[in-house]
Structure 1
Amino acid sequence: MDRTATIPVIEFSGEDIKNGRSSSSPDQRWKALCSKVREACESHGCFLLMRYDKIPTSLCEDMLVGIKSLFDLPEETKTKYQNPKPYRSYQGKCPVVPLHESFGIDDATRLEAARDFTHLMWPQGNPTFCEILNMMSTKMLELSFMILEMIFESFDIEEKKYEALVRDSVSFLRVMKYKVPTSKDQNLGLVAHTDKNAITILCQNEVQGLEIVTKEGHWEQVVVPKDALVVIVGDALK
């Protein structure tokens, strides 16, 4: 693939966020930021998020280290995690996407749920992983709600309607691993798809691999800078 995507880059500086959300009459910088988020979602369906200090680099790095230790567990341990809900459970060794492994972890924002998952994977205990899993899930959920709030505000939608959406929302954290392909013919990490939810926030390591399709039907690679998050609009917002 020779085409590189050019997608919007938006900075969430601390002052713009604080001054906008904490005031009964948001300032112009907050309103401009809300409009910028909406425009990026409408034009590209995604954007790169920079300078969001509530999810520090150290937390992302700790999460990636924890994910590696999770996928390094024996196959019989990983397959213990089963959930009847769609897109949850452990997924691996699929002949269609043999490079892909993932866990869809429900309600990891609740400490009890994070502990249950951690104990299933590490019966002897792994409090460090549990804490990081819970914290990362919580921070990601807070960010997704704020982005939804910004989109709603850009349309001048009443706050009570946004609050109802938040109250009725569910979330889960998906952790994924893509193995190194053994041949040029085996380089598909995941089949082409759209996300069914409202907002996806992607935190990846420094190995590039994300691809998107443009409105013109061209596949392009997204180069994600270090310390950036990728925000992707799901089907629920279309």
Structure 2
Amino acid sequence: MHKLPSIDFTNKKNLKPSSTSWLATALEATRALEEYGCFIAEFDKVTPELNDAVFHGLEDLFDIPIETKVLNKSTKPFENVLAYNKLVAELEEMVTRMVFETYGVEKYLDAHRKMVTYLCRGMKYRPPVENETNMGFVPHTDKDFITVLHQNGVNGLEVKARDGEWFSVELVPSSYIVMSGDAAMAWSNERLYSPFHRVTMNGKESRYSIAQFSFLEGIIETPKEFVDEEHPLLYKPFDHLKYLDFYNKEENRRLECAIRTYCGVNV
């Protein structure tokens, strides 16, 4: 039976770079991304008040009729969402730094950070009605580098382990999912795992989630440190945003592993 590791990002001792606690946390996070492609992060930078404001805003957004949304003429500022995005970006930056340092490729970190851009997406999954499938979101991998996912109190996320077994992820309001995407898998020469995941709805409440995706505006290339006789190069350098364009074509959405088809060495 699989269970995601839970890693503490609230203890300041764990977050002091180069300290023994930092190195241990970095190793734990990297190993979790290798084994499961994700882990649960305990992270308290987002206050309960800000968290509630963001999710109440998300509920209000989905209550607006589509014909009103398409007008896109709201002048109401998004202070809560922007504040949330900045805090969650801190978590993503920490995890990315930990991964780079664990692998001994931190000399590439500054160049990586200069290319990072974020996409924040809110999602609603309603409970199934009678005779309707309980599949809220079909199995897929994320196409970004690192995803930070947060949800309201309704669970439903399921992750596919490397052995093919699906398992449920139980979250509490103060926890987040940190997940490696296709770009991280290719960058690391498949040291990191980009897991299939889905949403299954079984209860009577709607599930709201907010995901922050990190993309790179430029070329992603596997560092030479990941390549040797036992680990031959698996991916050619690729433009991350062009990979998104490739995947967004209807015929490519059904590929088992779009990133391998797009830039795999032996394809």
**TM-score (normalizing by structure 1):** 0.73
Looking at structure 1, the residues matched to 39 and 15 of structure 2 have their Cα atoms a distance apart, in angstroms, of: 21
Q: 1:180 to 1:79 in 2, by over 3 A?
A: farther
Matches within 5 A, 1:1-238: 5-20=2-17, 26-50=18-42, 52-80=43-71, 120=72, 122=74, 125-127=75-77, 130-159=78-107, 161-238=108-185
The offset of 1:18, in angstroms, is: 4.5
Write 1 or 2 for the structure with the bigger share of strand.
2
Looking at structure 1, the residues matched to 44 and 133 of structure 2 have their Cα atoms a distance apart, in angstroms, of: 37
| 1:124-172 deviation line (CA, Å, top 9, x unaligned) | x433xx101111111222221211011001112134x101111011211
Letter in 2 for 1:29: S
Letter in 2 for 1:44: Y
Letter in 2 for 1:223: E
8 Å contact kept, 2:15–2:21: no
Looking at structure 1, the residues matched to 104 and 13 of structure 2 have their Cα atoms a distance apart, in angstroms, of: 19
Looking at structure 2, the residues matched to 42 and 184 of structure 1 have their Cα atoms a distance apart, in angstroms, of: 38
RMSD in angstroms over aligned alpha carbons? 1.7
Partner residue, 1:98? none
Letter in 2 for 1:224: L
Q: 1:54 to 1:150 in 2, by over 3 A?
A: same
**TM-score (normalizing by structure 2):** 0.65
| 1:71-94 deviation line (CA, Å, top 9, x unaligned) | 1111112234xxxxxxxxxxxxxx
8 Å contact kept, 1:211–1:221: yes
Unpaired stretches in structure 1, ≥5 consecutive residues: 21-25, 81-119
8 Å contact kept, 2:97–2:106: no
Equivalent pairs, count: 185
8 Å contact kept, 1:5–1:222: no
Structure 2 residue matching 1:192: 3-state secondary structure: strand
Tell me which of the two structures has the higher relative contact order, counting C-alpha pairs closer than 8 angstroms and 6 or more residues apart.
Answer: 1
Using the aligned pairs only, state the percent identity.
32
The offset of 1:17, in angstroms, is: 4.6
The offset of 1:189, in angstroms, is: 0.9
Looking at structure 1, the residues matched to 55 and 2 of structure 2 have their Cα atoms a distance apart, in angstroms, of: 25
